[in-house]
Amino acid sequence: MPPKRRRAKGRAAGLDFDSWVDLMYGPNPYRPVYASPFLRRAAWATHKNSLLAECQDTAHRPQAWWEYDLGRLPDFSKNECQVELLVEIGQASEDELATFLKLVYLEQESLRERGAYAPAEETAAYRRRAILAKKVAGWEPALPVPGYGESRFAEPARPPKGVKIDEAAAFRACFFIESLRHWEGDWAGVPFILSPWQREEIVRPLLGALRSDRTRRFRKAYISVACKNGKTALMAAVALYLFMADGEPGGQVYSAAADRKQAALIFDAAIGMLEQCPFLRRRVDVLTGAKMIRLPAKSSRWQVLSADAPTKHGLNASVIIFDELHAQPTDALWNVLITRMGARRQPLLIAITTAGNDETSICHRQYEYAEKILAGVFPDESFFAYIREAPKDADWRDEAVWYGPNPGLGVFRNLDELRTSIREAERVPANQNNIRNLYLNQWVKAESRWIDLYAWDLTAGMVDEAALEGRPCYAGLDLAASQDLSALALVFPMDTDPVEYKIICRFWLPEEGLLERRRRDNVSYDVWAGMPGGVANARYPKFIELTPGNVIDYSYIRRAVRELAKRYRIVHIAYDPWGARQLAQEFQEDGVGVAEFNQWPSKFASPTREFERLVLTKRLHHGGNPVLRFMMDCCQVRSDSNGNVRPVKPDRQKSHKRIDGVVATIMALDGALRNEAAQQKSAYESHGLETIGF
């Protein structure tokens, strides 16, 4: 029988339980309710000798430093075992405590050497253990480099302003989550230690802010960060806490998304975490085929939902995790689920997403609402808003910009992969919107933009309308539906080598319903018409002319063209014969030439490609017209089977997309190019046939 070890008098170095917890987790933490003192002592006596033997063998490398065959302890949760074990070691001799703490440090070093980097050694809890080791045993392990999860470009993690956090509730949530483990990839088996931004900016305020009745403050959450920053894993851990430790009898947790496969991602991640934690796994029943987890002790369940909205009216949800909200084709499922939580005491709906491209979607409406809450416009105490996005005016190629929307960059977000994707997007403009959506978390309009706005802005140039008076130009007219925008573009070939072109645009819109159209489309028509908020303001330049009534009055367009023809030499106006034949006849009566331009891909192919080439070579100057810029941002190109391309809307059913000005410019450019080609005579026409003698 081994000799008994000498116990330190009293508690080690005078540390009682409260002092130890304060060192480990800060002041006023949640104090778990433990089993009876007799049970704790009996459990400790059973395992103490074997534990100390393992601690003395520094070559021993357990998979995780707290797992020393604790699963058989009766009525103990794994969290309680962790705290209880360290407390009991703190009551043992100084040598025993120092040996155990050294084992913790050696285990972290072992993981580092094997390439399985353990983030736990960068946390405040690990630092406090080192402080405790030094105070109790005089042994000081090497402290890690500060700043886990932070970058030199990112702001320090901090809780949202105005959110008062209950330390007990916040500690309880963080303690549960950090007791879980990663389940896949290089991180498999590594403790799920929250990064500073996850802990301080999301978990603690979301789950730790309470109302006066001790229920959660927040009922709805909108969380948006760039992809591959650990949203799925974090939400799986949060959902497990809400499912197993929220104290909701008969709780119903649901995962929802645009389709059932997407909704199952968080659910499957949670199952992986449960498999890594046998003590929790034994408490639940997993029905893999039905995509359901049951918790018999509380009569609770977690289930994956399909995207079929009409079948969800009978739910009584306590928690809903809505994954990738931007992919929702309609708001039907959202509207049904948001009304299924009214019978619960502290329901919570969490929407996690990256930025999308549809500004009419339910996701963009939630995004706008969240932005107004963050800006202090709407005082909604029940809505938790968290958005990490690159600034709209930032250069997306600047590496310093990437860290804002990617708080996990360099930790679990691969920096090299992001660099490669950004460099590729610089060369392939069609990939830029995808990069800005998914990697920089920016809302952009077109799913596959034709011309990058950065290139468009570079070719703005100076357009002095007065200086162009008397010069020849070619016009293009695109008449939209009677209640939409109509556009006229004038293209002026300049006397340069190579030839450059300047553009003047005119736009018309019905005055009646202007503000309603602005709200519906979320486009600044009122500002561009010099009437912000529906009130005329001389400080705002007019880029859109308003016509009386609720439909376009074509007589206004006729009069405008007549006035323009007095200032500029309009060679002809290209028009679509399908919708503008009557107006074209009136132009001819006014002495303005016209030319038909059928809307066929073969007709658009050549001027569309030349339009792109002129923009990229900075030879097409538009003066920065904001309406034309908006339309350029909406524009895509489509190819037919013969390779002919033409400008199109991303989705003709979405009313806020407008490309009329771009179409009119291409129609006008076609006339200028044809005239230039006609003036270039061949060498045979200039010099005749020459005979070369030998």
Q: What percent of the chain has pLDDT over 70?
A: 72
Q: What integer pLDDT is reported at residue 688 of this predicted model?
A: 52
Residues 516-544 pLDDT 10s: 888 777 788 888 999 888 888 888 889 99
Q: Which residue has the higher pLDDT, 451 or 232?
A: 232
Report residue 183: phi and psi, to 5°. -125, -5
CA–CA separation, 303 vs 252, rounded Å? 8
Q: What integer pLDDT is reported at residue 112 of this predicted model?
A: 46
Q: What is the mean pLDDT of residues 329-341?
A: 89
Contacts for 464 with CB less than 8 Å, ≥ 6 apart: none
Between helix 660-679 and helix 626-634 the angle, nearest 10°, is 100
Strands 501-510 and 486-493: antiparallel
Residues 204-229 pLDDT 10s: 999 999 998 889 999 999 999 999 89
494-505: buried (b, 16+ CB within 10 Å) or exposed (e) per residue?
eeeeeebbbbbb
Task: Report helix, strand or coil for 261.
Answer: helix
CA–CA separation, 128 vs 137, rounded Å? 14
Is the model's pLDDT at 319 over the cut of 80?
yes
Average pLDDT over all residues of the chain: 76
Q: What is the mean pLDDT of residues 238-261?
A: 91
Task: Read off the tokens for 532.
Answer: 């912000």
Q: What integer pLDDT is reported at residue 150 of this predicted model?
A: 34
Q: What integer pLDDT is reported at residue 446 of this predicted model?
A: 52
Confidence class for position 161, pLDDT limits 50, 70, 90? low
Best CA proximity match to 96, nearest among 34, 1, 191, 4: 4
Residues 558-588 pLDDT 10s: 999 999 999 999 999 999 888 788 899 999 9
Q: What is the mean pLDDT of residues 8-20?
A: 35
Task: Read off the tokens for 461.
Answer: 């140039």
CA dihedral 264, 266, 267, 270 (to 10 degrees): 150
Q: What integer pLDDT is reported at residue 638 of this predicted model?
A: 79
Task: Report helix, strand or coil for 622.
Answer: coil
DSSP 186: G
Is the model's pLDDT at 590 over the cut of 70?
yes
Q: Which residue has the higher pLDDT, 150 or 553?
A: 553
Q: What integer pLDDT is reported at residue 652 of this predicted model?
A: 53
Least trusted range by pLDDT, from 52-56, 290-294, 327-331: 52-56
Is the model's pLDDT at 600 over the cut of 80?
yes
Q: What integer pLDDT is reported at residue 654 of this predicted model?
A: 54
Q: What is the mean pLDDT of residues 102-121?
A: 44
Best CA proximity match to 456, nearest among 676, 643, 673, 662: 662
244 HSE (CA, 13 A, CB side): 25
Residues 655-672 pLDDT 10s: 577 899 999 999 999 999
Report residue 72: phi and psi, to 5°. -90, 0
Distances (CA, A) of 68 to 24, 60, 61, 65: 20, 12, 11, 8
Q: Which residue has the higher pLDDT, 652 or 87?
A: 652
Residues 481-529 pLDDT 10s: 667 789 999 999 999 888 999 999 999 999 888 888 887 777 888 889 9
Residues 407-465 pLDDT 10s: 888 777 888 888 998 888 877 666 777 788 889 999 876 555 688 788 898 999 999 99
Q: What integer pLDDT is reported at residue 162 of this predicted model?
A: 67
Best CA proximity match to 484, nearest among 533, 560, 550, 548: 550
Q: What integer pLDDT is reported at residue 355 of this predicted model?
A: 92
Three-state SS letters, 453-474? HHHHHHCCCCCCCCCCCCCEEE
Query: Do 476 and 574 touch, CB atoms closer than 8 A?
Result: yes
Least trusted range by pLDDT, from 449-453, 474-478, 555-559, 677-681: 677-681
Q: What integer pLDDT is reported at residue 533 of this predicted model?
A: 81
Residues 346-398 pLDDT 10s: 999 999 999 987 777 899 999 999 999 988 887 889 999 999 999 887 888 88
Q: What integer pLDDT is reported at residue 639 of this predicted model?
A: 72
Residues 173-199 pLDDT 10s: 888 888 888 888 877 888 888 888 899
Q: Which CATH number, 3.40.50.300, 2.40.40.20, 3.30.1330.10, 3.30.420.240, labels domain 456-679?
A: 3.30.420.240
Confidence class for position 167, pLDDT limits 50, 70, 90? confident
Q: What integer pLDDT is reported at residue 253 of this predicted model?
A: 96
Task: Read off the tokens for 18.
Answer: 């409260």
Domain extents in the chain: 1-148, 456-679
Q: What integer pLDDT is reported at residue 157 of this predicted model?
A: 59
Tell me which amino acid residue 420 is: T
Is the model's pLDDT at 139 over the cut of 80?
no
Cis check for the bond before 156: say yes or no (omega within 30 of 0): no
Whole-model pTM: value is 0.54
Is the model's pLDDT at 107 over the cut of 50?
no
Q: What integer pLDDT is reported at residue 32 of this predicted model?
A: 34
Least trusted range by pLDDT, from 225-239, 291-305, 480-494: 480-494
Q: What integer pLDDT is reported at residue 470 of this predicted model?
A: 93
